[in-house]
Each structure stands twice: as structure tokens, then as C-alpha cells.
């Protein structure tokens, strides 16, 4: 009986709750783990990530290539301020040095961006647990042209806050294109523009 209820409220209804939760999201902080695969090679990075509407993004690498480097996307300027040691630069978000091996830009790695890809085509797969929290697992078809070759994604949605805790994109052969986790997620903590200065 419980499974029938979950199926009845899944898919579109879960997506609707995720969209509502995202609309109420003013800012967040998290440790973001990213695994990107290209030509059989893995790029692993662990970031401190901060996000604030209307699209400020702070990412500091704490493990992986370019450890210690910081990049901040400023939506008003559509530019990225980067810092590595004493060097500070403004760069385009299209600069290949700022993109993942597959091509993802800095503004294609935050929770609102992942939520924007969800639609009524999402299918409920199962319940589970992630980071000690109950989650709903959804599968979302994707356009490979807009998603760097990925044709579908699985979302692990926090059953209480209705925000994604993990997203995995898959290629047409079932291989992983990218896997992202949002750990120690804290929402609506009162970030300001001062938190995005480097």
C-alpha cells in the first residue's frame, strides 16, 4: 500500500515540490564533490561551494587539481574572479581553464541549475538513504546537446527539504559522465555579496 502511495505522489508531484523548494532557496553553503569522466579518465574535485541569488557562485578547491584555487562567478558582470596564490584575474566563464574536462561551466554546477533540468518527464525509481537522510530517487531524460553528451540523470532528492543531494549524469552507453554530491548542505544562511569577495 505504501509503495502505491509513493508511486501516486512521485514523478510530477515530487518535481513540483522540488521546484517550490528551489524558488524558496535564497542561498546555501555545501561541500560539493564532483567526479567527471572523459575518455576513461576521472577528474575528482572537492569544493567548498556557496550560492546566492541571482546567481553568485563561490567555489574553492579543497581536494584535487588546483587545490587552494578559488573561482567566483558574478552574474552582474557575467565574469569569473579567480584567485590562485597571489594571482587574481577576471576570466570568461567559457575559459577552458575554468571548465570541467567534459565542458561544464561554473554556473552549471549549482543546485538551481540541476533543478532547472527537472520536468514532468522525471520518473520515480525508489526511496533510499543518503548522508543519513531519506531520499527519493528520480530518473530524468536529458538532451545530450545541452548536457555534454548525457542522455539521462538520476537525482537523489532530500525527502524533507526537496532539494537534490546527489545527481549522476549518464551517457548513451550507460557510463557516468558526471557525478555531483552536495554534502553538509545548509540553506538560507543569510549570505551577502561580502561572502563572494576574493
Please say whether the beta carbons of 34 and 100 come within 8 A.
yes
pLDDT at 149 over 50: yes
Q: Read off the pLDDT of residues 71-83 as tens digits, 9 standing for 90 and up.
A: 999 999 999 999 9
CA distances from 102 to 38, 48, 66, 99 (A): 6, 21, 17, 8
Compute φ and ψ for 122, nearest 5 degrees.
-70, 140
Spatial distance between the Cα atoms of 15 and 84, rounded to a whole number of angstroms: 39
pLDDT at 155 over 70: yes
Higher pLDDT, 66 or 1: 66
Please say whether the beta carbons of 44 and 31 come within 8 A.
no
Region 97-118: mean pLDDT is 96
Residue 10: pLDDT band (50, 70, 90) is low
Query: For the domain with range 6-196, which CATH number is right: 1.10.760.10, 2.50.20.10, 2.60.120.10, 2.70.98.10?
Result: 2.50.20.10
pLDDT at 39 over 70: yes
Residue 4: pLDDT band (50, 70, 90) is very low
- Return the domain boundaries, the chain: 6-196
Spatial distance between the Cα atoms of 196 and 82, rounded to a whole number of angstroms: 11
pLDDT score recorded for residue 1 = 44
Region 27-49: mean pLDDT is 96
Amino acid at each position: 500500500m505504501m509503495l502505491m502511495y509513493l508511486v501516486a505522489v512521485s514523478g510530477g508531484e515530487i518535481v513540483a515540490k522540488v521546484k517550490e523548494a528551489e524558488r524558496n532557496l535564497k542561498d546555501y553553503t555545501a561541500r560539493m564533490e564532483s567526479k567527471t569522466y572523459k575518455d576513461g579518465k576521472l577528474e575528482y574535485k572537492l569544493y567548498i561551494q556557496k550560492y546566492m541569488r541571482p546567481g553568485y557562485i563561490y567555489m574553492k578547491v579543497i581536494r584535487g587539481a588546483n587545490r587552494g584555487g578559488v573561482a567566483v562567478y558574478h552574474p552582474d558582470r557575467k565574469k569569473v574572479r579567480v584567485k590562485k596564490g597571489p594571482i587574481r584575474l577576471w576570466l570568461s566563464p567559457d575559459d577552458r581553464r575554468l571548465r570541467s574536462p567534459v565542458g561544464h561551466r561554473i554556473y552549471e554546477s549549482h543546485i538551481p541549475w540541476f533543478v532547472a533540468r527537472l520536468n514532468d518527464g522525471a520518473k520515480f525509481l525508489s526511496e533510499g538513504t543518503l548522508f543519513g537522510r531519506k531520499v527519493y530517487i528520480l530518473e530524468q531524460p536529458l538532451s545530450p546537446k545541452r548536457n555534454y553528451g548525457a542522455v539521462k540523470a538520476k537525482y537523489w532528492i532530500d525527502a524533507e527539504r526537496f532539494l537534490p543531494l546527489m545527481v549522476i549524469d549518464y551517457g548513451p552507453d550507460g557510463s557516468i559522465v558526471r557525478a555531483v554530491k552536495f554534502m553538509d548542505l545548509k540553506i538560507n544562511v543569510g549570505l551577502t555579496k561580502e561572502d563572494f569577495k576574493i
